[in-house]
Amino acid sequence: MIKFWREIIIFVLTTIVLTMVLISHNLVPIAEAQPSRTSTTNRSLLSVAYPNRALSASPAQLPPLPYAYGALAKAIDAETMKLHHDAHHASYVNNLNDALKQYPNLQKRSVESLLLDLNSVPEDIRTKVRNNAGGHLNHTIFWQLMSPQGGGQPSGAIAQQINQTFGSFDAFKKQFNAAGAARFGSGWVWLVRNPQNQLQIVTTANQDNPIMDGFYPILGNDVWEHAYYLKYRNRRPEYLNNWWNVVNWPQVNRRAQPPSQ
Ligand SMILES: [Fe+2]
């Protein structure tokens, strides 16, 4: 009987030692760590221009406006839309292509990738790339976020998330408009998903995009004077308030989906 138990103990100890040796040599598969929410969110920053697609820089191209110039008259007049898209956005596209023409390797990268790693962009074109890649990305997102059928109360999952985070849609709008009005000079106001997977309101200067600060942009409004000055003159708060009449909530919901694995 004693011999039996001795053999059992020797067998168990041998198995334990053998298993430890195999693990130490990576010969036994152990469960891979699941990517954290934070790392998943960070990965998704490489593709923010469209809900599931990054923005090409080979060459950069002006996307067509998805509606007529006068279709957003509930908030923005036709002349402003035409200038904003055909002149301002077009110049960001042209300037970005001009900056990259001597660097074919950079043209192979997406606009998001350039903005996420500006230190890898040669210093002689870095500021030009920052301003114009940012301008191209921001406006590409912006046109999609508006619709002639837009406005009203938010729908879908984003409505619930806004209520949970800010208390109500009205409270959220108030904070968003206040942040946009307070952005000194030219820039943007955004609803973003932060690395902790929470909704947050942020602003960016000039044509910087929230990905440069580690945030995923869900919704954004352009507060450069070129976005509103013809109709609203210096009344930026009035523009911010009316802009909600054209917000494309189905598109906001597509952008607010959790990042793909
Ligand atoms: Fe703009």
Tell me the CA–centroid distance for residue 30 and ligand 1, in Å: 51
Separation between Cα atoms, residue 81 and residue 149, nearest integer Å = 16
Q: Using one digit for the tens of pLDDT, what is the confidence trace for 116-131?
A: 999 999 999 999 999 9
Q: H-helix or E-strand containing 174?
A: helix 169-182
Tell me the CA–centroid distance for residue 114 and ligand 1, in Å: 20
Q: Which residue has the higher pLDDT, 169 or 16?
A: 169
Tell me the CA–centroid distance for residue 92 and ligand 1, in Å: 10
All structural domains of the chain, each given as residue ranges with its CATH number in brackets, are 77-256 (3.55.40.20)
Tell me the CA–centroid distance for residue 12 and ligand 1, in Å: 70
* pTM for the structure as a whole: 0.84
Tell me the CA–centroid distance for residue 259 and ligand 1, in Å: 26
Tell me the CA–centroid distance for residue 27 and ligand 1, in Å: 56
- How far is C-alpha 138 from the geometric centre of its chain's CA atoms? 9
DSSP string, 88-110: IIHHHHHHHHHHHTT-HHHHTS-
Quick one: which of 237, 186, 192 has its CA closest to 208? 186
Q: Using one digit for the tens of pLDDT, what is the confidence trace for 129-176?
A: 999 999 999 999 999 999 999 999 999 999 999 999 999 999 999 999
Tell me the CA–centroid distance for residue 142 and ligand 1, in Å: 9
Report how far apart, in Å, the C-alpha atoms of 75 and of each of 72, 146, 169, 235, 247 are. 6, 10, 19, 13, 10
